[in-house]
Amino acid sequence: MSRHGDALPDDEILRRKLRLLPEAPGVYLHKNRDGRVIYVGKASRLSQRVRSYFQDPAGRDGKTGQLVSRIRDFDWIVTDSEADALVLENQLIKEYRPPYNVRLKDDKQYPYIRVTLQEAYPRVEVVRHLARDGSRCFGPYTDVGAMREALNFACGAFMVRTCHLGLPEQTVDRPCLDYQIGRCSAPCVDYETREDYGKRVRRMIRFLEGGDAEVVAELRARMGELAAARNYEEAARVRDLVGRLERTVERSRPVTGVTGDCDLCAVAREGEDAAGVVLRVRGGRILTAHHFHLTDRLDRGPEAFLGHLLREYYARAGDIPPEVLLSHDPGDLAVWETWLRGLRCGAVRLRRPQRGQKREAVELARTNAAFKLREFTLRRTLKQAAKVTPADIQLQEALDLHTVPETIECFDISNFQGRETVASLVTFRGGRPLKSRYRRFRIRTVEGVDDFASMREVLSRHYGKLSERGERPADLVMVDGGAGQLSVAREVLATYGFHDAQLIGLAKREETIHREGGTLSLGRRSEALKLLQRVRDEAHRFAITYHRLLRDRRTTASELDNIPGIGPTKKLALLHHFGSVARIRAATAEQLAEVRGLTRHDLLAIREYFASRA
């Protein structure tokens, strides 16, 4: 956190900064005690919006109160307008990925179909990034299968090249396989003029834009010309292409009441999850559908989800229509229109229709969003069910847990005669070790043997970080020990807001399970007990391994470790050759040079190190 003076408490610093807030549009960044940005927002008046977070706590919902309780500092950036604030907010969310903003569940780069119009002989390809280099991009495609289908059809129908030859400078002696199978007109060997090839590219672009009827009409006219010229073979090829295009058009669904080009944007929400859908309507027909899985840790309405959908989709959209119809009002429609106008380089109108056929069109998008949300939920449920083992189910029944413990994390403390006290954290998922979530700790604040204090320190460090990142503990938290360790763990978890965490302790000798409601003993053949023993033993093994590593480092430590460039291999070679550090200190440059593996710089570093300590 930024501090103006060490003597000032946090509350006083915030009060002083609140008085400095300007009456201007801009972006604000809330930070936690570690200085991490946890929320980014925009405001038409920074002073009014930021102060609202620190006033009237009774009016806040629980999750917003959780956000405010973590704010220890804030910064702001003034912009010229609200539209500029929207652009900057989007950039900062991408940069900091704050946990309390609405975000994509699967934030990845979606593919585009790119036509390189800046080249003499344009080609078509799949890319993951939107480039403003004169090329024409279509997408992003959230359904990669649909993108591949559209690309394959366009290449086969219009015979536009996909190779990377730099035409017309680079040429070949004979055409490739794409020409042989009818997927390219082979401009690389001058089988087609640049003008005729350009017509193919323009037809393909109109097709990808949704201008199917225009392309079909043009091809029908071309077919008549070829037939009149008695070029029946080529006329038959055009006829077949027209048939393929018409069948494709028939599969696209018309939207009642929408005759031009527009996008239908809608969201459906359930709890912290939502699905966003963008239906691209071109020429009155649905050309493509894009869907996004969104999540929000605050209790905000669907308007916040829709705003994030607009920000995520149109910031990377290759094609923006003149009209966008919305299922909810994201607020500040004029600001959104200004932002979209800058991206499209043309007028864009945002509307939320209240009645009529356009309202029914938006309802179609919202229905699609609801189905997608159900699909996301079902997929997640099936995925979780696949990870649950019979031992997990037995454990839930034996311990009377309110959820199946798909994930289990266990803490263990290890020390040797009160020295080098360390702790370990291991995580199991579906009965298997999840080593990417293993953690090890050196105890910093405890002197001597004090397992309770050591456990308190480790749990506070781990769950403090978890709380700051807005993450949750595992389904079941286990500590190696009895009632004392259990009491410490419950106190620490409650301190960081994890009151509902399921918690047990497992004593080594009696194999007794300690719960807050008392103790429990399971049969030796119980699969649930065997699972807990595997987790506890793995935590113990991991702690012992770390403890031995630190002990070995201490016993093998040498003054040679302080010399720059002398690592473990060179250190062992020196000790093997001379037998002791004292003899190395007394050795001449010629004697040091006899050691294999040492460079001239190593010799100078050794001599300078011991000379400085003579």
Q: Which residues pair with 294 in a beta bridge?
A: 104, 274
* pLDDT tens column, 179-209: 988 889 999 998 889 999 999 999 889 888 8
- Please state, as a whole number, how many other Cβ atoms lie within 10 Å of the Cβ of residue 488: 23
Measured CA to CA, the distance from residue 184 to residue 201 in angstroms comes to: 11
What integer is the mean pLDDT of 483-487?
91
Write out the CATH class of domain 10-101: alpha beta
Q: Which pLDDT band holds residue 455 (cuts at 50, 70, 90)?
A: very high
Q: Is the pTM of this model over 0.75?
A: no
**What is the pLDDT at residue 401?**
85
- What are the structure tokens assigned to 8, written together? 């000032």
> Any idea what the Cα angle at residue 90 is, between residues 84 and 92, rounded to 5°?
100
Residue 58 has pLDDT above 70, yes or no: no
CA distances from 393 to 296, 396, 444, 528, 571 (A): 30, 5, 38, 8, 53
Map out the domains of the chain as residue ranges.
10-101, 112-210, 262-382, 392-553, 559-612
Q: Which of 91, 95, 30 shows the shortest CA–CA distance to 66? A: 30
CA distances from 505 to 361, 452, 457, 516, 555 (A): 57, 13, 17, 9, 34
Domains 10-101 and 262-382 equal at CATH topology level? no
* pLDDT tens column, 543-586: 988 878 777 666 555 678 788 888 888 888 888 888 888 888 88
What integer is the mean pLDDT of 51-62?
76
| Side chain identity at residue 588, one-letter code | T
* pLDDT tens column, 362-409: 999 999 999 999 988 877 776 666 666 778 888 888 888 888 888 999
Q: How many residues does the chain have?
A: 614
Helices 212-228 and 194-209: crossing angle in degrees, nearest 10, is 140
CATH 3.40.50.40, domain 559-612, yes or no: no
- Please state, as a whole number, how many other Cβ atoms lie within 10 Å of the Cβ of residue 358: 20
Measured CA to CA, the distance from residue 393 to residue 578 in angstroms comes to: 62
Question: Which CATH superfamily hosts domain 262-382?
Answer: Ribonuclease H-like superfamily/Ribonuclease H (3.30.420.10)
CATH of domain 392-553: 3.30.420.340
Measured CA to CA, the distance from residue 68 to residue 71 in angstroms comes to: 5
